[in-house]
Amino acid sequence: MILIIDDNPKSIKALSLIIRDFGQVIFATSGQSGIAMTMKTKPDLILLDVEMPGMNGYEVCRQLKADAATRNCSVIIVTSHSSVDHEVAALEAGAADFITKPLNAPLVRARVKTQLLVKKQADELHRQVEQDGLTGIYNRRYFDQQYAQEWRRHQRQRSPLGLALIDVDFFKAYNDHYGHQQGDECLRQVAKGLHSALRRPGETVARYGGEEFAVILPYTELGEAQKIGLWLCESIRDLQLPHAQSEVAAHVSISVGLASCVPDGRSLPTSLLSDADDALYKAKANGRNRAVVSDRVID
């Protein structure tokens, strides 16, 4: 999606016609409304007029680049001034490129095409940084970042934050028996199963380590965590992946440790993690293939 920000409807029309082959084009006629629309729609590219009443294009660009929510949208500055100074001002404001009026259609198309390609590659890189290569779900790096962020949010809102740590039962024996390729496939299936067990927005499942997974559960008290623990176990049981070496089931199963707390000034993110880890330890000690919330055992 491409956003055109220009105070002149004729300019918007002319630009739209030139770039219509590149996908959906939306527009705003002032800097303020352009910033609001960027927040809402996160366009891939913004074509930004410099000469606008109120907030000019440079200022709009600076504001977009200063905000983490809009920083990743590429901006091409469009202006009727074709001096080096203006070009430098555009780049210093954070623009990716610079186009002068009167518009030269092939040149505009070439520059737009290049920036869309750069954006696509940047998005792909971004995805790879957050994604676990084997299972396709979020990786540990993303989990750590998201967990810290959710911790602060729940602290501000004085809301309960839940956490689940999950371990695949007898996974080493599974690998030894079925081979590493099948082991990898098992982890992919488990990741998919866990993902499908979650029902609310913001619930984030990540690969935490080898055969360990973690789920962030926003606004979740212990009672709710208990239900979610059961669903997670069921979702893996329902996969019915044969596991000849398991001592607790004929199929692949998981042990889940859950914890919840209302973050306050005295508690630390690591304390909730270690609560969940203790619960996971108990789930294993009590026979695996089950979810344990604090001191309660659910079969």
Q: Which of 3, 5, 49, 260 binds Mg ion (CB under 5 A)?
A: 49
Which of 3, 4, 5, 7: binder of Mg ion (CB under 5 A)?
7
# of chain residues touching Mg ion (CB under 5 A)? 5
Q: Is 87 a catalytic residue?
A: no
Query: In angstroms, what CA-CA distances link 235 with 186, 270, 281?
Result: 14, 28, 21
Cis bond leading into 102, ω under 30°? yes
Segment interacting with Mg ion (CB under 5 A) among 5-13, 69-77, 123-131, 140-148: 5-13
Q: Which is the catalytic residue, given 59, 211, 224, 247?
A: 211
> Which residue, chain included where needed, has tokens 């049981």?
237
Judged by CB under 5 A, the stretch of 23-31, 45-53, 162-170, 250-258 that binds Mg ion is 45-53
CB 134 within 8 A of CB 192: no
Q: Please state the closest distance from residue 101 (CB atom) to Mg ion, in A.
A: 9
> How far apart are CB 95 and Mg ion at their closest, in Å?
16
Distance CA 202, CA 149 (A): 12
- Of residues 29, 51, 131, 245, which one binds Mg ion by CB under 5 A? 51
User: Could you give the CA distance from residue 107 to residue 173 in angstroms, rounded to a whole number?
Assistant: 61
Residues 8-27 that bind Mg ion (CB under 5 A): 8
**52: CB partners within 8 A, 6+ apart:** 5, 6, 7, 30, 31, 60
The rounded Cα 28 to chain-centroid distance in angstroms is 27
97 belongs to the binding site for Mg ion (CB under 5 A): no
Q: How far is the CB of 114 from Mg ion (least distance, A)?
A: 24
DSSP element (H, E) containing 108 = helix 105-130
* Residue number with CB closer to Mg ion (52 or 166): 52
Q: What's the full length of the chain, in residues?
A: 299
If binding is defined by CB under 5 A, does position 31 make contact with Mg ion? no
Catalytic (active-site) positions = 211
Which residues of the shown chain bind Mg ion in the complex (CB under 5 A)? 7-8, 49, 51-52
